Structure 1
């Protein structure tokens, strides 16, 4: 309950927002995602009117909730569309600070381990693992909402944000919009990376060796599949996605997203040791997608990213729940433990 109350756990220190400040934008994007979590919890607990806990998560930052996205399978709220309303009470000298603000933010929640949502959420988690999220009940609704907002306000005025399962939805929607020529500013918190847990290996040389072997196998399999003419002619070129640079937020202690750390850092190490060609080929394929393609079942690895502005939170965590939590991304005390770096596919 405490995590749902903005006055107890939210970034209420942001009384004046500078939209040019990445820390402020990150905190607000994460808060709007928390707003979706709390909307669904309000629904489950029948909290309405003055008893609802969700509104402060967007009201505090001068957003208005204009629509909720509801999964028809279990009637749960899995997403929300917010519209930013410039506060008329702000002094004129604050106007410039809002020049980088979005008009709309489309946010998606992750899994809620409660009886009303557990079954459907876990079913979608399984689809993420199988790389079949597009076939879920939620993704078509999410994709249509994104397209509608972009048509209304333009790509430059529309943001995506999501956490965990919701981050997977935002990532896939963002990739699809790139294919339509639209690049959306996106905030992906703890997105799932489906892979063997290589990042958990503590010995650096062993970890690098395992990754090198994995890259060699993946690259070799890609060459074999392509040589047999089994590669898809309809798959969107991986390199063409590289101009979209979402903000990616990961915690190395979180097994759900930690492989993104090794995914990007290993690619650079491959270049440094003269194996950049292998790294480039491996980074755009997964063994599962290659095998599926060879069997005639096309499966694009939607969790793979050519480019990202990745922020790593190295703050010590007491457990996996804390390492995976959305709250870490707005806490003032964790700002000093964040390390950000641009990774671009060239």
Structure 2
């Protein structure tokens, strides 16, 4: 995390790309989110909204189990017209909210690390190859790739 912060500080946020696949992507996303929260990208605000101007490009495949949560997160947020309950859930762990409200445990309502307020979601819509797991990078290397890009902006 310190290395990423140093690079962003020296080069500027518009000149740094954080990339990875699977665990590497999770680490890159966490580093970017932490850097954005610390004001390296968007000022000194401290909340889910503080990083809303950061729109990372997320490459996802709906047939990949690890991507399904990200896809659903943004689609549910888009369908919700008002902040209401979904606004709270999109910022915090549903498990922690329920446990706290039902007084099952005295837990802190925390922001899930994997959820982002904004993103450019690039979905791979190409039919899967039967013998290859949908999690493999190989699905993105097709010259006839069928994809859809949806921009989700937090407001």
TM-score by length of 2: 0.82
Following TM superposition, by how much is the alpha carbon of 1:251 offset from its aligned partner in structure 2, in angstroms? 0.6
**Higher helix share goes to which structure?**
1
Tell me, in whole angstroms, the C-alpha distance in 1 between the residues paired with 2:143 and 2:114: 29
Partner residue, 2:56:
246
SS in 1 for 2:59: strand
Q: Indicate the residue corresponding to 2:21 in structure 1.
A: 163
**Equivalent residue for 2:142?**
331
Q: Is the 8 A contact 1:253 1:323 kept in 2?
A: yes
Structure 2 CA distance for partners of 1:300 and 1:154, relative to 1, 3 Å:
same
1:343 aligns to 2:152 (yes or no): yes
CA distances 1:297-317 after superposition (whole Å, capped 9, x unpaired): 564311011000001111111
State the Cα deviation string for residues 81-102 of structure 1 (Å, max 9, x = none): xxxxxxxxxxxxxxxxxxxxxx
Match of 1:154 in 2: 12
**C-alpha contact 1:251 1:313 (8 A) present in aligned 2:** yes
1:150, CA displacement in angstroms? Answer: 1.9
Select 1:277's aligned residue among 64, 77, 84.
84
Is the aligned partner of 1:265 residue 2:72?
Answer: no
> Does the 8 Å contact 1:253/1:320 carry over to 2?
no
Q: Does 1:287 align with 2:94?
A: yes
After superposition, give the CA deviation of every residue in 1:24-77 in whole Å (9 maximum; x if it has no partner).
xxxxxxxxxxxxxxxxxxxxxxxxxxxxxxxxxxxxxxxxxxxxxxxxxxxxxx
Higher alpha-carbon Rg:
1
Contact 2:64 2:135 in 1 (8 A): yes
| Counterpart residue number, 1:58 | none
Distance 1:145 1:317 in 2: 37
Secondary structure of 2:80's partner? helix
Give the RMSD, CA atoms, in angstroms. Answer: 2.5
| Number of residue pairs aligned between Structure 1 and Structure 2 | 148
Shift of residue 146, structure 1, vs aligned partner:
0.7
How far, CA to CA, are the matches of 2:39 and 2:120 in structure 1?
Answer: 20
> How many angstroms apart in 1 are the aligned matches of 2:24 and 2:75?
25
CA distance in 2, matches of 1:319, 1:146: 38
Name structure 2 gaps, 5 residues minimum.
none
Query: Matched residues in 2 for 1:286 and 1:257: separation?
Result: 18
Which structure 2 residues correspond to residues 49-128 of structure 1 after superposition, within 5 A?
none
What per-residue deviation string (whole Å, max 9, x for no partner) do you get for residues 216-256 of structure 1? xxxxxxxxxxxxxxxxxxxx411112111100111110111
TM-score (norm: length of structure 1): 0.39
